[in-house]
Amino acid sequence: MLGVIGGSGFYSFFGADARTVEVDTPYGPPSAPITIGSVGAHEVAFLPRHGVHHEFSPHTVPYRANMWALRTLGVRRVFGPCAVGSLDPQLGPGAVVVPDQLVDRTSGRADTYFDSGGIHVGFADPYCPSLRSAATGLTGVVDGGAMVVIQGPRFSTRAESRWFADQGFRLVNMTGYPESVLARELEMCYAAIALVTDVDAGVESGQGVRAVDVFAEFQRNLGPFKQLVHAAIDRVDVERSCTHCLAHEGVQLPFDLP
């Protein structure tokens, strides 16, 4: 089974024929009940990251519950569509980017399942190469770039966004961490697919980023963006062959993965 975790404005993925399941986890309930449907040859589980009515801000999303619930259902590969700001003037609203690197600038988020035991997790390349390849092979998709994840819920100051751009980061987002590392801890393949909704405040002059404008831009592009995610799923092999995301090979874990 594949998983899709929808970002801001991306609250549904299937029609009325999908079934809904509720999953409890040791970390509480996920953001919403999970809907399961089909995309081509794949059975797909969909979960809206922020809840069905956007009731979770980026720093309050139950990331550990979300990823645990998906794995419990049998999901082993996950696409994480998300809204991002651009730190690159060449990437304007409507661009779709598949990042290849991540920089964590969050604080205080529960970002591991290993609260006991001496465990270390390789994360040099945070995204699954197989899933990235499926998405970057689509027409018009931009391949690569570092995504810096900020704490939120506030947007960056102009000084912060200029600083991020000076470091060579290409995208800024609020939810890409710890979702990606939790997937790695659960040995799930994971790749983000980022829809640019704005150019960040320090990169382009103007009044700065406003939430209302971000949501409006996402809604304008939502139909084609969903079609793109469908197309990426169609390009994923039916059988999982990736070994890159098997982080615990040869390691004795303090508990069994679900």
Report, as residue numbers or ranges, the catalytic residues.
198, 200
50 assigned binding-site residue: yes
- Residue 111 counted as an annotated binding residue: no
Q: Binding residue per annotation — 200?
A: yes
Task: Please provide residue 81's backbone torsions phi and psi, each rounded to the nearest 5 degrees.
Answer: -60, 140
Tokens of 56: 């979770």
Q: Which two structure tokens, joined as six digits, stand for 35? A: 């809907």
User: Among residues 22, 1, 6, 2, which one has the least CA distance to residue 192?
Assistant: 6
Is 205 a known ligand-binding residue?
no
Identity of the amino acid at 181: V
198 labelled binding-site residue: yes
CB 209 within 8 A of CB 198: yes
- Residue 174 annotated as lining a ligand binding site: yes
101 within 8 A of 206, measured Cβ to Cβ:
no
Say how far apart CA 83 and CA 7 lie, in whole Å. Answer: 6
19 assigned to a ligand binding site: no
Are residues 194 and 82 in contact, defined by beta-carbon separation less than 8 angstroms?
yes
Is 213 annotated among the ligand-binding residues?
Answer: no
Residues making up the binding site for substrate? 174, 198-200
Residues making up the binding site for phosphate? 8, 49-50, 175
Residues making up the binding site? 8, 49-50, 174-175, 198-200
